[in-house]
Amino acid sequence: MPRSDRSLRVFLDRMIHDLPFDSSIRVGDLWARVEQRGFGMIMLLCTVLCMIPLPGPNAILTIPLMIITGQMIAGFKTPWLPKFILNRSVKVNHIHIVFNYLSPFLTRLEKIIRPRYIKLVPRRNLRSIGAISFILAIVIALPIPIPGTNLLPALCVMAISLALLNRDGLVLWGATIVGALFVGKLGLGLTLAWKWFFGP
């Protein structure tokens, strides 16, 4: 496994599992631990946050991901979040639950993600990657009662973020294409369902 993968694995393990289990933590405190690692790590953190279960609609937790991917579309050089999000607190045990649930997927990704096709990984212009990630973030937020509707786009965003971190052009564009196809099929399915129930 590449050295960058091992360091990423160690970093995430320390960041998540060194937190007191029966407590809460500000989003800003998590942000301070990862903001220097760029858009890839921030996207990964935001995706984990938006999958935390909350009573009632939890679409509010997808707002950071939408903001970050929106900044990628706008051409921001460094990620930024407003104070009202940074001051929001989440329960550490929820972070543990989500991270442990996603850990097998992350482990598999780490085994295949490595620096390759580096020329396909944009260094500054992340607009196209940000655009599809932004749409996937919207899909994650939608309360669509179809199994896997929220999970698959979240996994695509995770793959994109890890590929950015490890400069893997193959996985980066593979996950982007899968995400785009998923959004297209979902849009087509919702359109057909609307016509079926409500007519043309």
DSSP 116: B
The whole-number pLDDT of residue 87 equals 84
Q: What is the pTM of this model?
A: 0.71
Distance CA 181, CA 175 (A): 10
Is 2 in a helix, a strand, or coil?
Answer: coil
Give the whole-angstrom CA distance, residue 99 versus residue 62: 16
Q: What is the pLDDT of residues 57-93, one digit of tens each?
A: 456 678 888 888 898 898 887 788 788 878 888 788 8
Q: Which residues contact 126 (CB under 8 A, 6 or more apart)?
A: 39, 72, 75, 164
What integer pLDDT is reported at residue 200 of this predicted model?
62
Higher per-residue pLDDT: 144 or 115: 115
Exposure on the CB side of residue 184, measured as CA atoms within 13 A: 6
- Can you give the residue ranges of every domain in the chain? 3-198
Residue 39 has a pLDDT of 80
Cβ 52 vs Cβ 61: under 8 Å? yes
* pLDDT tens for each residue of 157-183: 888 888 888 888 888 899 889 988 888
